[in-house]
Amino acid sequence: MLRELSYMFTYSKKLEDYSTLARILVTSAIIALLLATRFLSRSTTVEIARLTLILSFELYLASRAREARGVLAGLKLILTFTIIGALVFYASYLLGWLAPNPVEIVPGSMRLVAFFLGFSLLFQLISLREWRGLMGKLGLNKQALALSMVMSQIPTTLYYLSEATTTIKLKYKGKRLYKVVVPLALLSFLTSRSLTESYLIYGAPTMAAGLSTHKKKDVHLYSLLIVLAIGVALIDVLPFGS
């Protein structure tokens, strides 16, 4: 599961038919819609309906970037923790402990998955070169370098965690999984040291990216975004939205 999760934070070239501007606007708009949905929904039913629309759009984009099977495999770990958290909240409520209202747990769980998918699309649809190119044009060269280093380490660390876990499972036959901490720490340390050494020896790599502002297929992506925004806005006028 961790290996598939790491792929959710790597760039996919399958959507390069769309311009850089279109991909940035769409991913940013998704995050904005999620925030608006959280604060502007007047009822739980309205919020669930809006989150369903946004999740559907996110899954469509993610499945375009990667196959649907890969997306579902990458979400497996997130869904597992989300379900466990929801069950814990339900149990706490039944036992009379401090817990959210059971009705609020459903949109809360959906919101968690939607935010994860939304932020992962920032990695999948926009390359490090494009991020650095954009921030460089804004005069944020140092921040762009720091951001690219962080973004490159997230999938690498998750991948190494998956490899370390698999190694421990094979060696100890599913027992003593806590021993994964040591090889993971060593791998992370060695990777970070190698990265630092390469920067000290060769300097920071230049990532000149051609930032495109428009392509022919942008109309399709913008049309889908407009339909999503209209659908999210019109939920309030439906019978259950009042």
Higher pLDDT pick, 184 / 108 = 108
Mean pLDDT of 170-196: 67
Mean pLDDT of 174-194: 67
pLDDT tens column, 96-108: 676 667 777 778 8
Taking residue 202's Cβ as centre, other Cβ atoms within 10 Å add up to: 8
Rg of the chain over CA atoms, in angstroms? 21
Per the prediction, the chain carries an average pLDDT of 76
Instruction: Flag the least confident range among 14-18, 37-41, 187-191.
Output: 187-191
pTM metric for this prediction: 0.75
pLDDT tens column, 192-239: 667 666 766 666 555 556 677 778 888 888 888 888 888 888 877 666
Instruction: Flag the least confident range among 15-19, 103-107, 143-147.
Output: 143-147
Burial of residue 49 (number of CB atoms within 10 Å: 0-12, 13-18, 19+): buried
Confidence tier at 176 by pLDDT (50, 70, 90): low
Residue 185: phi, psi to the nearest 5?
Answer: -65, -40
What is the reported pLDDT for 147? 73
Higher pLDDT pick, 240 / 27 = 27
What is the reported pLDDT for 19? 85
How far apart, in whole angstroms, are the C-alpha atoms of residue 157 and residue 20?
A: 27
pLDDT tens column, 44-68: 888 888 888 888 888 888 888 777 7
Burial of residue 105 (number of CB atoms within 10 Å: 0-12, 13-18, 19+): buried
